[in-house]
Amino acid sequence: MDTTIQKEEERWQAVIERDNHADGTFVYGVRSTGIYCKPSCSSRKPLRANVLFFSGTQAAEEAGYRPCLRCRPQGQAAQDTTNEEIIQRMCTYIEEHLEERLTLAQLSQQVHLSPFYLQRIFKQATGITPRQYVESLRLTQLKSRLRDGEEITSALYDVGYGSVSRLYERVPTHLGMTPNTYRRGGLGMQIAYTIVDSPLGRLLVGATEKGVCAVSLGDQDEELEHQLCKEYPAAEIQQDNSQLAGWVNELLQYLQGEHNWSQLNLPIDIQATAFQWRVWNVLRTIPQGETRSYAEVASSLGDKKKARAVANACATNPVALIIPCHRVVREDGAAGGYRWGIERKRRLLAQEKAEL
């Protein structure tokens, strides 16, 4: 037998047996994933036809392979990978392969983790599952294409939906309307709203048949109404002071200190990008009476450099109070900005701390 072939067969046997004595003598790359591992890696074994052997990590990386996040062939000191880094890599992979059919099994292979473990750490970090993240990204792109006037049939295939029926299965949950309705500025959609006095000024609450779509604070009713109409210029928007009474009372009781935030049980029907959803889900995990800096929220999402993007997501939160963006402050502890006025933010924080 050729000595090269014999050597490769010995290496393959070491991989099959997960022989840790072979670690450091070679690494193997997997063509289907673009990842390289050390022989003892505990990940699911690839097909032999997909495996290449390299003398070391440098040779593997020069060939375009990335180190495995499970076995860390570069060594603990060289790459101390955290869950946040895994999630960040996973999000990047999803964003770059959105047009493909992405399954949890396929995604888990990219980071050499079990589907169950990947799903668990992904949801812990982002508040949503990998599948929900994929759908959110696709819907974000779909909405952008529809706003630009692209035909629905073309748009849905471009963003990764395999059929029209597949699109319509997903869209109502996230958009609150069909694609045609959204494209026409909410034409045919019905939104009821009411404006009442509150401890923080005038409070507007708007809702579709699915749930609350707007909670805003201000001084002038006209300005609050104008903000509501901007999102859906063609929707049928009517004032209704009775239909929303129950939800309005819940918010007022919270603002008056009679209920704490965790007692708010309001369904929401809002639109967002995938990143906004990730930020808002983190905000809802911040305990009442506590705050987090923009950088801390960004770090919890796996990228501390996105503090400015976190601030923008807070500023575009359409349902104030329900999503507590007032709990995000500056690095030095100062209140920072707030869409509804800095004084309202200070009063909310003071009230929540006093209720503990």
Q: Which residues are catalytic?
A: 37, 325
Which residue from 135, 148, 254, 301 is spatially nearest to 314, judged by alpha carbons? Answer: 301
Which residue from 165, 155, 169, 103 is spatially nearest to 134, judged by alpha carbons? Answer: 103
Q: Which residue has the tokens 């500023």?
A: 315
Burial 91-102 (b: 16+ CB within 10 A, else e): beebeeebeeeb
Burial 314-344 (b: 16+ CB within 10 A, else e): beebbbbbbbbbbbbbeeeeebbebbbeeeb
Contacts of 75 (CB under 8 A, 6+ apart): none
Residue 183 belongs to what H/E stretch? helix 179-183
Instruction: Round to whole Å and give the CA distance between 303 and 324.
Output: 21
Instruction: Round to whole Å and give the CA distance between 181 and 187.
Output: 5
